[in-house]
Amino acid sequence: MEQRSRDSLVGSEAPVNTPLDLPLPPTPPPQPLWDRQSRHDTWSQSDMNSQRLGIEWDTINDLRIDMVRLHQRMNNMQRMMETCMDMQIELQRSIRQEVSAALNRSTGSSGSPHDSSSEDKSKWECVRKGLCCICCESNIDSLLYRCGHMCTCSKCASDLLQSKRKCPMCQAPVVEVIRAYSIQ
């Protein structure tokens, strides 16, 4: 009978403890609901903080890009303003020159108006032929700066500049002589 009881015990699927088997560790007590919730809140707060930090970095980078663009626009505006001021100075200089030439023409004619107009006609005839309006011998090869007239040879233009005389066509002051070459 003892054998039957042993066989029945062996045949049953009940665990048999041997001296080498270790007992299972005790199961931890279930965490209270508030503890699980606070850990979840901590994770979600750190997730929110990292998302907020990412958004802040994106905003900072966008602002930096906008600042660079604004700086470039300001530089462009400054260059345009300087160009406009240079153009305005040049325009004022040109107007002063025109006024000066007009005043010189009106006060500079010592002879009769008939004589000066015939003199102007002869100057224009020489210029139309491509000859210097002063000597009427050499070809025109110089530009008088500031008025821009091409009406003299280089020798007569240099004489005008050195003697501080005015353009023979418009009576504008001659500031510089530029030698011009024609391609034939």
Q: Are residues 87 and 135 in the same domain?
A: no
* Residue 102, in any domain of the structure: no
- Distance between start and end Cα atoms, the chain: 141
For 9-23, 26-40, 65-79, 135-149, which range has the lowest pLDDT when averaged over its residues? 9-23
Phi, psi of 19 (to 5 degrees): -65, -20
**Cα 58 from chain centroid?**
26
* Residue 120, in any domain of the structure: no
Q: Would you state the pLDDT for residue 116?
A: 53
* Residue 38, in any domain of the structure: no
* Residue 1, in any domain of the structure: no
Looking at per-residue pLDDT, the higher value among 46 and 162 belongs to: 162
Using one digit for the tens of pLDDT, what is the confidence trace for 106-161? 665 544 444 456 666 777 788 888 899 999 999 999 999 878 888 899 999 999 99
CATH number of residue 178's parent domain = 3.30.40.10
Q: How many domains does the chain have?
A: 2
* Residue 122, in any domain of the structure: no
Helix (H, G, I), strand (E, B) or coil at 130: coil
* Residue 62, in any domain of the structure: yes
* Residue 15, in any domain of the structure: no
* Residue 7, in any domain of the structure: no
Q: Would you state the pLDDT for residue 111?
A: 44
| Residues 169, 100: Cα–Cα separation, whole Å | 13
**Contact of 101 with 170, CB cutoff 8 Å:** yes
Q: Would you state the pLDDT for residue 90?
A: 83
Using one digit for the tens of pLDDT, what is the confidence trace for 51-94? 787 888 899 999 999 999 999 999 999 999 999 898 888 888 87
For residue 150, give its domain range: 130-184
**Contact of 145 with 176, CB cutoff 8 Å:** yes
